[in-house]
Chain A
């Protein structure tokens, strides 16, 4: 775990290198996120907002912002670029930067997981931004379609993300098999989530909407990365343990 955090520190240099001007989106997003969160709670606590609006907005934004943040944040972006396996100079640069540093393959996997959850937590916070906007334009409960869209986006996002950090900078042959297995699992969960979302949408109460943990659909969609991540780590540490940094 300690090594994984060290790796993330080492990754900060690469982050600056790769992100370039995109970092302004990242920092801008964080600032907006905190402003939005403050507005959410001020609005909710002052009683101007209905509890239902609050709940559905939270569910929506947790998922939508997850995707957006993943695109613009550093570690996810880097690992995603790696994972796609583009044979470009930038990928070579990433590998050249990392391979002689004192990290193992497993450190990268754990670091990938950590950065994944960092992003997930960030996205939860950013949900406030949407809520603030929804308060302003009086949307929210009327936009159930967006909730489903957001679910799709978030599913696609974390599938991409998992694939990315699994394949990682290393492109292990076995990792591809693991990724394929996880991709199928993710897809099954995604379809199940969408069905459940539609089935329960008309029936859920405020309590269920308020927290994704209380909504079966939200629960499934939002927490499915947990078993998937665990599965990914298990497979990779079993199959690829002590593996080289990448296959040539």
Chain B
């Protein structure tokens, strides 16, 4: 097994994954996370981020495709893989009638790599009460409790679904620092979904953008930022060329738009800026909505 793992530089490989629900489908999505990297997973609410994470954990039965975690199929090797995955989510993954201490006690028996010292470190850092019922925790405290439990498993892959939700700014910054330390050894990786794109701008190495159950982008963050340009100018500058844009937001006289850098020459005279992640996300979604409306 050791030899087999050495061959894999990938922490996670999702290939042609599909899942249909009533009114929503995940369509042949594919992306990869290299060991030692943080991938930001962005998209609107209901785009399929949580579904993808749950499919990685085999919570749902997938309709097609393949998921490999450290080269192992996630269904055939479910137990082994889940020992290597830490998971924290915006929704409650804890028994809220119980205490954090009781959870830690159970997790210590369940997870082979459980690190009690590490758990206590986060408990102290975030001032989490061990004997208080989780029902009495605030949303932010519950998230911190889930993060403490996830990190103390000493996972090789962290799946964090909206961990910033409910966290105070101090805890959010601390979390980003912890994540950077987490992947520093080059062996551990993170898949993190968040609506706070400024956090991902700071922490993520790769970005996967999912829109309506389809992967729109999955690239290193720096390449993604180089790939696009944010332009602004007069509405007249757009005439007859709007279809060349990724997405546009128009005022009465002016516009802001996201465009592929290679198409910048089509828009002479406009102001050009480097887009941030929020620009790429929002303009991509607006563009897709507009194309869908026209179709």
Contacts and interface: CB of A to CB of B under 8 A. Distances in A.
A12 B106 CA distance: 8
Nearest to A7: B110
A9 B98 CA distance: 14
Contacts of B1: none
Contacts of A28: none
Contacts of A246: 59-60
Interface stretch (A15-23, A115-123, A139-147): A15-23
Contact of A13 (B79, B80, B95): B95
Interface stretch (B29-37, B83-91, B243-251): B83-91
Contacts of B89: 96
A211 to B, nearest CB: 38
Contacts of B78: 102-104, 242
A51 to B, nearest CB: 46
B91 A96 contact: yes
B95 A17 contact: yes
B92 A93 contact: yes
Contact of B96 (A10, A17, A103, A248): A17
Interface in B90-142: 91-98, 102-103, 106, 109-111
A10 B83 CA distance: 14
A142 to B, nearest CB: 45
Given A9-B106, A10-B106, A99 B95 contact: no
A238 to B, nearest CB: 16
Contacts of B111: 102
Nearest to A10: B106
A74 B14 CA distance: 38
A93 B110 contact: no
Contacts of B92: 93, 96
Size category, A interface = 20 to 34
B97 A17 contact: yes
A93 B58 contact: no
A98 to B, nearest CB: 9
Interface string B44-65: 0000000000100111111000
Given A17-B96, A243-B61, A248-B60, A100 B21 contact: no
A26 to B, nearest CB: 15
A100 B82 contact: yes
A129 B43 CA distance: 60
A212 to B, nearest CB: 36
A108 to B, nearest CB: 12
B113 to A, nearest CB: 11
B97 A104 contact: no
A247 interface: yes
Nearest to A6: B110
Given A93-B96, A97-B94, A13 B61 contact: no
Pairs of residues from A and B, 10 with the lowest C-beta to C-beta distance, nearest first: A17-B97, A102-B82, A244-B61, A17-B95, A100-B87, A99-B59, A13-B98, A13-B95, A102-B83, A96-B93
Interface of B: 19, 21, 54, 57-62, 75-76, 78-83, 85, 87, 89, 91-98, 102-103, 106, 109-111
Given A102-B80, A243-B61, 7 more contacts: A16-B95, A17-B95, A93-B95, A102-B110, A244-B60, A244-B61, A245-B59
